[in-house]
Structure 1
């Protein structure tokens, strides 16, 4: 009788550890703080830029820190490169009926993509994208630079916001934020 009790007890313990074990934990990717903050403000980071953005021209906006538009702009830099993200960019470009490079580029008035933002959603090739404010960091979204692309930055000189070349972003620069020298303008082109 002791042997059967021992086998029965061992069987209960084994089944209890299996039956009582919590289900498999689903693997979740961490959500970037900027995306979480924008979502908390009620911003659809995959949708259109919020209405509190100041439209400068087609696909070009400015926004102040604390606004929904600023939260949307900052979140764009941290969006993962997924099919959903790429589809939304293409949908936004189709709505605005313009040809572009499928890359979002923002300039910010403070380091590490903080402060006032100038955002160029789906930036175009061979266009000077300008900001009247002095900017000190850059955010790239949707995809990194390709090996056949060049991204030059300039600053105000001789009454021209793009009057003096400052630097070129490295070839194949990835999605993300980086600090820069003072800039007012960028120019994306294919080599």
Structure 2
């Protein structure tokens, strides 16, 4: 599939899901994203970078599913990005002020404790948000494209999960719930 076809498919999917289409561009996609699709939030708009793995290793249905997940996921992440950043920042600031107050003023121990607490909070908040987005993407894809289609995507995700062996891949695996958990939650909410 060439970039124009991919862009047309993304626009069609965006219309089906009633979301804005992201910008599609060819480029480098890290190995920890074996489907060759790298959704990114950039300042002006969401972007989907398509790498060589997209055309090489996926069937046509898997390509459509990977694009659908990226289109819907980017829209959800884009819509909530400012609220998320504000929440992480405010909670982090309150935690920092609390830790500095508890330790009796700014000193190196309070600064280290506050920095560690903020880093942990940021990671936990990002993982929770990513998992919520994944569940919502599953719900919307099943609603628009059908549950059998989503089951195909679960199979692709399971294959990819086992291919992510690097630290970055393990982080992606942490941010996205297992396919079994996603299917169970989808069934419970149906």
**Alignment TM class, shorter chain as reference:** under 0.3
The answer to which structure has the higher helix fraction is: 2
Query: TM-score normalized by structure 1?
Result: 0.25
Report which of the two structures shows the higher radius of gyration computed on alpha carbons: 1
Whose relative contact order is higher, 1 or 2, with alpha carbons under 8 Å and at least 6 apart?
2
Give 1 or 2: higher strand fraction: 1
